Structure 1
Amino acid sequence: MRTSGTGRRAGAFAGAVLAALLLALLPTVAQAQAQAQAQARASGPTVALSQTEGGKGGEITVSGAGWKPGALLMLLICGQGEPGKGVVGGTNSCANTEGRAATVDAKGAFSQKMPVAEPPKPCPCVVHVAGVTGQQDVVDVAFTVAGHPTAPLPEATGTGRLAVLAAVRLEGSSGVLVWFGAPARREVVFTVGNLGQTAVKDPVFQVGTSHGVFSPQYEERQWRGTIQPGKKAQIKLPVELSAGAHGDYEVSVKYAGKVLVDQPWGVGRPWGVTLFWLLLAVVVPAALFRIGMAVVDRVRPGGAAGARSGHRGLRRTLVRTPLVRTPEPRPAPERDEATATTVLPWFTPDSAPSAPSEISPTTKGHQ
């Protein structure tokens, strides 16, 4: 019994030690994976093919690492392409109907099978992997389509051949005035490479914006500088919307009649303008009501104007008219009812005339 108990204790102790070791090693493994992913992203996205040659109707597996997690990628087989220099003619040189889409996993990797198709342009051919959302890098890997025609790349013209090599982005931010309807401004930034054999000096690009089903309205923007053959340069072009514009827009950049850039641009609604109209809808009716009431108060008879004028006239009368004091009544003198005689007010008792006799002779002359 003691031996079995000792064995169980030893086994429990060993299990605890093993669990502690695993817990100690887990952060180290996680850190190593994180560092590996960070290094892969720092070195840039990569693409690998299960085979470098295939015929029409076959199938290949395209895998990659170092991409942004969650990004949506587009996989195409294109003609007239060269790794590091892009595809001449853009997606018009690719087998678009046979293309495939892939989503990058949480570790920055992807793996997708796609059929081998013949592109509309002759080889040299490449497998073109481009980011659609999230990370918009472009990687081209050489691929040979068996039985497909091969031709040298088109010769360079006097204007050179520019192709987008890196991700496109919009730089800048909206100020407070944009919240009140001011025009939104950005800079479209992208990297181009000169695939031709002649230098491109001071190229003129066409920048346009479109909203919904409307076509872009292009304006010319000149970039100052020279791009030598086989070299690349970062291009920054200003783009501006009209006042009060909001919603989902598309920024397009053309060069030599070809679209190089299509970048979405979401513009927020200018809520400051909405707030202004709401305040205006409240303040204006209140002001009109106050004005109307003041007019009615002045026009109606006996209104405030008449009352004010009446008060002013009464105040002037009170100021100009002297105050007349009423004398106090004097007490009547005491009299004896027995001897009292009626005396007129303009005669005194001594000067009152005597009463005439009852018979008075009448003198009519001598008889």
Structure 2
Amino acid sequence: MLFLFLALLVPFLSLPAAGPAAAAGKPAVTLSTAQAGAGGSVTVNGSGWRPRTLVMLLICGQATPARGVVGGTNSCANADGRAVTTDADGRFSRPLPVAEPPAPCPCVVHAATATGAKAQADAVFQVAGHPVRPLPAATTGGRLSVLTDTRLEGSGGLLTWFGAPPSRTLVFTVGNVGTGPVENPVFRVGTAHGVFAPQWDERQWHGTIRPGGKARVELPVELAAGAHGDYTVSLEYGGKVLAEQPWGVGRPWGVTLFWILLCLVVPAALFRIGMAVVDRVRPRPAVRRPARARRPGRRRPVPEPEPAALSHATLPWFTPDGAPGGTALPPAPHDDPPTLPTGFTAQAPSPTPTGSAPPSAPAAFPTPARPAPPTAPAASATPVSPAPPPPAAPPVSPPPPTHPTSSPSPTTPHRKGST
């Protein structure tokens, strides 16, 4: 019984060792079918890969498992590729849609690691209805192969932080595994952003590599201005991709800072300019000068107002001597003879002493005179009052027709009550 139990236990003990042994083998892929038309599907099974590794699956033209993909990934249907992650044993299984590659057949299903150490495997596959052409002849001279991992040397500067084109130097070591020397080889360096196809630039290395020899090659790599993100640098020689190197480019934060400052400074400058224009065109308020302090000095004497001249009454029923305010001036001489009433006889005026007032007729209705309005002081010392209206003429005899009636002398006033 003990021997029977040990015999049954031995197969189970040997099973866990098979997984690591298979995982440690060379990566390989197998297909569920060797031919399919466009629009179909083929299942890809892989083994011998590193555990937990991301693997890309592509259908490529102008390729064989012996020579690999001659035209590089440009000969593959990249838009219809698939990605798969290996399990703990380094195995995977993934359906892959069939699509026509840009290059003619012979075709393969190409599997390559996307992260970590480079590993790849190819399986022959025929796309039904796709044209077939022979592969280009292999060169019989020297043949270069990358002996070490590629790396990017260099760093960005202050200008790169403000959007200058980032640049690096691709450094690797190649060896001549052919039978002839290789002189001045021309490499193609491609840069791809994300999942886009690489853009190739030719870089020539000056020198000669003997058969079996090796050389250290440095090629410049430069991106566009303001480039940032995840890039992939590819190296190609003789129509075959030799190596790929990831490159993470930082964001040019200086450009972002510039735009932030521009959004703050420009509105502030426009506001200041607008306020200056408004301050210049708006009307200015009147500026009041401060009152000056009066200097102490001699006070000027204020002239006393002169007494206002009394004006004579201008009423027609007052005689010059009876008008309030004093003696009035005689009327001016005139040519018209006065009209005498019937029954009166003209008599010559009797002489009167100088200074007496002429007689005045009794007023039938005495009316008090209105007070005269005050007048401004005259320039001379003697006030002059306006001339009163002519008084009523006394009954006199008509003068001769040739001589006008003479007015009484201003110095000979008439007595009151004389006729």
Q: Report the TM-score, using the length of structure 1 for normalisation.
A: 0.46
Q: Report the TM-score, using the length of structure 2 for normalisation.
A: 0.41
Which has more strand, going by share of residues? Answer: 1
